Amino acid sequence: MNDRTGRTEYVDVEGGRIAYEVVGDGPLVVLSPGVADTRSSYRFLAPLIADAGYRVASVDLRGHGESSTGWGSYSRADTAGDLIEVIRKLGGPAVIVGQSFSGGSATIAAATNPDLVSAIVEIDPFTRPPEYSVAAFLRNSHYRRGALLLGEFVLTGSVRIWSKYLNVAYPGRKPADWDSWLAALQANLREPGRAKAAQSMCKSKPVDAAAQLVNVHCPALVVMGSNDSDFPDPEAEAAAIVGLLPAGLGRYEMIENAGHYPHAQYPQQVADAILPFLAGRDHA
């Protein structure tokens, strides 16, 4: 594990509490991970952003990591509200970086709280209902294997199945601490209520996020792994999300050879895409 982490802090929201940690000083950047993951997903990227002169808060989703379990619902809009409460506590406005499920939450937060969100970065996001097709499923074996494992996890909540999915979602290059990181994630998911929370999030549809894309009025960057098994055509998905934003606000960057978690596989390349986007944003 990267040892450049802050101490765990919490913000109380209706229904529970959200855990986060802060490193660095400067304008606020809030990092939110995907389903069945913890804020350790950003263990490599957070220090790179902090070193560039930002105060970086890495957040655990409700039901995940060190956040509480037993929430009444687990929608993208719920997570958007949680992130806004973190920003309020730390003092915004902020840039939100949301990966996968949290990409949709970043969209909603920006659309509904423009005074607190100055820009958004979405990493391999589920921000609109995916356009699946039988032809793509049959043609793309990498996509097919990922989709089948995701479906099995939604049905079973099996940590073993999720681990198999991660092996597909991290194609090729694995982080240097893969074995220890995966063991820690598995242990967290086996705690009561955590796999159930992840299942609930996986079952939610990103229609709430898709409906808000037109209401985003801040700059937006989509960062997408070129070998993401969650989409039959990752670049087409990135372009489609940008196309649904108001004209001129969005753009996308591809991370070659990366899967669904480019920020953990290729953190420097992701930082190289994000930092120029952050530079000059007036969110101090």
Task: Give residue 95's pLDDT band: very low, low, confident or very high (50, 70, 90).
Answer: very high
Chain centroid to CA 166: how far? Answer: 15
* Nearest-angstrom CA–CA distance, 39 and 169: 17
Residue 159, both tokens: 């940590």
The label of the residue with tokens 């991970």 reads 33
Residues in a beta bridge with 28: 55, 94
Task: Give residue 169's pLDDT band: very low, low, confident or very high (50, 70, 90).
Answer: very high
Residue 164, both tokens: 């198999």
Local structure of 5: helix, strand or coil:
coil
Query: What digits encode the pLDDT tens for the residues 226-268?
Result: 999 889 899 999 999 999 999 999 999 999 999 999 999 999 9
Question: In this model, does residue 145 exceed pLDDT 90?
Answer: no
Residues in a beta bridge with 96: 30, 120
For the chain, the average pLDDT equals 92
Burial readout 203-218 (b: 16 or more C-beta within 10 A, e: otherwise): ebebebbbebbeebeb
Q: What is the pTM of this model?
A: 0.93
Q: How many CA atoms lie within 13 A of 186 on its CB side?
A: 15
DSSP state of 124: S
Residue 135's contacts (CB-CB under 8 Å, 6 or more residues apart) are none
* Nearest-angstrom CA–CA distance, 250 and 273: 14
Written as one letter, the residue type at 103 is G
Task: Tell me the domains of the chain and their CATH numbers.
Answer: 9-278 (3.40.50.1820)
Task: Give residue 1's pLDDT band: very low, low, confident or very high (50, 70, 90).
Answer: very low
